[in-house]
Amino acid sequence: MVALTIRQLEYFVAIAELGSLTAAARRLHITPGSLSSALSDLEKELGVKVLVRRRAKGATLTAAGRQLVVKAQEVLAAAEGLTSEAGAIRGELVGTLRLGCFGSLSPWLIPAVLDYFGTKYPRVDVEIVESSSDELQAGLLSGALDAAFIYMLHVSAPLEHTTITPVRLQLVLPAAHRLARQREIQLAELGDDPAILLGLRPAPDLVDAMTSAAGFHPNVRWRSTNVETIRSVVGRGLAYSMIMGRPLGDRTYEGNPLVYRRIADEMPQNSVELVYPAGGLTDAKVRALADFSREHLQEATVPMQQAGEGP
């Protein structure tokens, strides 16, 4: 009978990740002596040395330790999945949900997700990571994230997905712009007007490809990774922009009005997706997130689909 315990594996992984018994003991809220004793018991049970402990130099994985720590992480992940699944059967979920979100999508999607889990599954700790789509996909593939919201056209990794809602690139203009009263605008009509565009990758490359396909090359004066900064610059009349998202209210932080208009040129289909690693829906927390997103988040993203209203 194997006498290994989940706690021993947690201790082993913590030491491996932090490279120090002292740091691991601090994270785990136990004494270094208790941690060292548990590690010795683990090595005795495994029959191999997994760490070399040196005073003042921390702890270093042995060759065997480097192989076994990967397996230990897999066992811990499986144990957490088992706990979540049992909770789902009982009608409750527990544990951590590591959720990524493309930066410009966060204001529309994240508040609703936090509200949902906080109300229905208060024992689930939702950790939010806002970043570029490239970094989020890397996090999903490495196991650092459980799921992420990104645009369909941003997906480049072998990931599974749930479609939330279709979206289309649109123009954002200051209310006093010469084209603001048109319902649809050909990109060529913008001429050499200055633009401020989103700088989060891969958005710059995709927008460039879309506009180039339409035979238009915007005069990009500035780039920003913050969608509210972009909106505020547009609201001051300094530039126009092209973005997917549209908050309710159509006013900037400074109170300046904005006008959203449909691009008359042909644009590729796009959508907001919840993406996760292959088999990700076996995690009850991710499955609950996917179900909620598919059923309820479309309402939160309706403004993102609307452009061209007005005279």
Give the pair of three-digit tokens for residue 194.
């200055």
Residue 92 has a pLDDT of 65
Residue 115 has a pLDDT of 96
Residue 304 has a pLDDT of 47
Answer with the residue of higher pLDDT: 107 or 77: 107
Q: For 201, phi and psi rounded to 5 degrees?
A: -75, 145
Distance (Å, rounded) from C-alpha 61 to C-alpha 259? 58
Residue 36 has a pLDDT of 86
Residue 308 has a pLDDT of 46
Residue 130 has a pLDDT of 93
Q: Residue 221: pLDDT band by 50, 70, 90 thresholds?
A: very high
Strands of the chain, DSSP E = 51-54, 58-61, 95-102, 124-131, 147-151, 160-167, 170-174, 184-185, 194-198, 219-224, 241-243, 258-263, 270-276
Mean pLDDT of the chain: 86
> Which tens digits make up the pLDDT trace of 132-161?
999 999 999 988 899 999 999 999 889 999
Residue 219 has a pLDDT of 96
pLDDT above 90 as % of the chain? 43
Distance (Å, rounded) from C-alpha 249 to C-alpha 35? 55
Contacts of 288 (CB under 8 A, 6+ apart): 88, 93, 117, 121
Average pLDDT, integer, range 184-208? 92
Distance (Å, rounded) from C-alpha 37 to C-alpha 43? 10
> Which tens digits make up the pLDDT trace of 92-122?
688 899 999 998 888 889 999 999 999 999 9
Residue 247 has a pLDDT of 61
Which residues is 242 bridged to in the sheet? 171
Task: Evaluate if residue 53 carries a pLDDT over 80.
Answer: no
Residue 84 has a pLDDT of 67
Pick the range with the lowest mean pLDDT from 84-98, 111-125, 179-193, 218-232. Answer: 84-98
Q: Three-state SS for 15?
A: helix
Average pLDDT, integer, range 254-268? 92
Residue 163 has a pLDDT of 92
Which residue in this structure is represented by tokens 């527990």? 94
CA torsion angle 47 51 55 56 (round to 10): -170
Beta-carbon neighbour count of residue 99 at 10 Å? 26
Residue 300 has a pLDDT of 55
Give the pair of three-digit tokens for residue 220.
């990009």
pTM (global) more than 0.85: no
Q: Residue 9: pLDDT band by 50, 70, 90 thresholds?
A: confident
Residue 61 has a pLDDT of 86
> Which tens digits make up the pLDDT trace of 22-41?
888 888 888 888 888 888 88
Answer with the residue of higher pLDDT: 212 or 250: 212
- Domains of the chain, start order: 6-86 (1.10.10.10), 92-166+270-305 (3.40.190.10), 169-263 (3.40.190.10)
Residue 138 has a pLDDT of 92
How many whole angstroms from its chain centre is CA 89? 27
Task: Evaluate if residue 90 carries a pLDDT over 70.
Answer: no
> Which tens digits make up the pLDDT trace of 161-181?
999 988 889 999 999 999 999
Long-range contacts of 73-79 (CB under 8 A, 24+ apart): 73/13, 73/143, 75/6, 75/9, 76/6, 76/9, 76/10, 76/13, 77/143, 79/6
Task: Evaluate if residue 91 carries a pLDDT over 70.
Answer: no
Task: Evaluate if residue 218 carries a pLDDT over 90.
Answer: yes
Residue 309 has a pLDDT of 47
